[in-house]
Structure 1
Amino acid sequence: MKENSVESPYPELAAFGLNRFTPCRVAGAAQLPGERFARDYRKKFDISVPDWRVPVHLALAGGASVGDIEVRVAMDKVRVNSRVRRPVHLSLTQGDVALMADLLPVTTAHQAEIERKLGESFDCFGSAIDRILEEQR
């Protein structure tokens, strides 16, 4: 045992290791590109990723309810309501439409960077994520 380390009262966890626990690995793998993505949106458009996700969903769906947005963009109702400040059915404003035109190249560049980093593994990675997410639907 290393000096300055404390022996765990749960020795069975010693072999486990959070760095091999899939949920922690997936969260960690998403964190860095997510932070880069958020930083770019904040710097270029002065918005957060949740501020971006709501209008993108509205653009793709042609309008939606708060409940639909909660499910589709994995945001809780409080966060959705704090972003949209509108009642039941939501749609894009003219400002949102203009914002979408500006956001698309940045979003596409982030996606292309992830695909490039994963290379031939990208399709398998996407399929694996789809299988995990399918359980939530």
Structure 2
Amino acid sequence: MNEPTLDLPAFLPYQLSVAANRVSNRLARIYADRFDLTIPEWRVMAVLGRFPGLSAVEVAERTAMDKVRVSRAVSRLLSAGRLERRTDPEDRRRTELRLSEAGRAIYAEIVPLARRFERSVMAELAPEELAALRRALGKLLADG
């Protein structure tokens, strides 16, 4: 009796995960050394830089990270003075997160680095490959 097997290196979910991790780790080396940030910390800062005032749960939803990773990243960023937390005046049960002044300064430095990095990654692909990748990712991410 033949047991079913899985050719993991050819399995699309595995390929997507490995590709995402490799690209993310390449970018992480840029900001880890210079700003002492982990990947989850940068993702929290990136989403709060774009959408200030989110709760930790909302950050987890927008970053597709689990709540524990977000909680650890938020704790470290608060301790480092890169985030501020305050109670929502409209809903006292909700806590809002925002970049602190120090966090905004780091964010302002990383964004151009991240954009430059993105351009260098995109330059590895021919324009038609990049367009096809964007279309394919759009379809895969639309199911959310």
Q: TM-score range by the shorter chain?
A: 0.7 to 0.9
Displacement after TM superposition at 1:127 (Å): 2.0
* Cα distance in 1 for residues equivalent to 2:14 and 2:131: 21
Two-structure CA RMSD over aligned residues (Å): 1.7
* Cα distance in 1 for residues equivalent to 2:97 and 2:70: 11
- The structure with the larger Rg is 1
Q: For residue 67 of structure 1, what is the aligned residue in structure 2?
A: 57
Using the size of structure 1 for normalisation, the TM-score is 0.82
Q: For residue 77 of structure 1, what is the aligned residue in structure 2?
A: 67
* Cα distance in 2 for residues equivalent to 1:32 and 1:56: 19
Q: For residue 79 of structure 2, what is the aligned residue in structure 1?
A: none
Amino acid at match of 1:127: R
Q: 1:38 aligns with which of 28, 31, 43?
A: 28
Cα distance per residue 1:5-54 (max 9 Å; x no partner): xxxx62x42xx522221001111222222221112211111111111111
How many residues get paired? 125
* Cα distance in 1 for residues equivalent to 2:38 and 2:142: 26
Q: Which runs of 5+ in 1 are unaligned?
A: 1-8
Q: Which runs of 5+ in 2 are unaligned?
A: 76-84, 87-94
- 2:112 is equivalent to residue 112 of structure 1: no
* Cα distance in 2 for residues equivalent to 1:28 and 1:101: 29
Using the size of structure 2 for normalisation, the TM-score is 0.78
Amino acid at match of 1:56: A
Identity %: 29
Q: For residue 124 of structure 1, what is the aligned residue in structure 2?
A: 132
* Cα distance in 1 for residues equivalent to 2:35 and 2:126: 29
* Cα distance in 1 for residues equivalent to 2:124 and 2:72: 34
- 2:91 is equivalent to residue 101 of structure 1: no
Displacement after TM superposition at 1:119 (Å): 2.3
* Cα distance in 1 for residues equivalent to 2:114 and 2:133: 19
Displacement after TM superposition at 1:130 (Å): 2.0
* Cα distance in 2 for residues equivalent to 1:84 and 1:31: 21
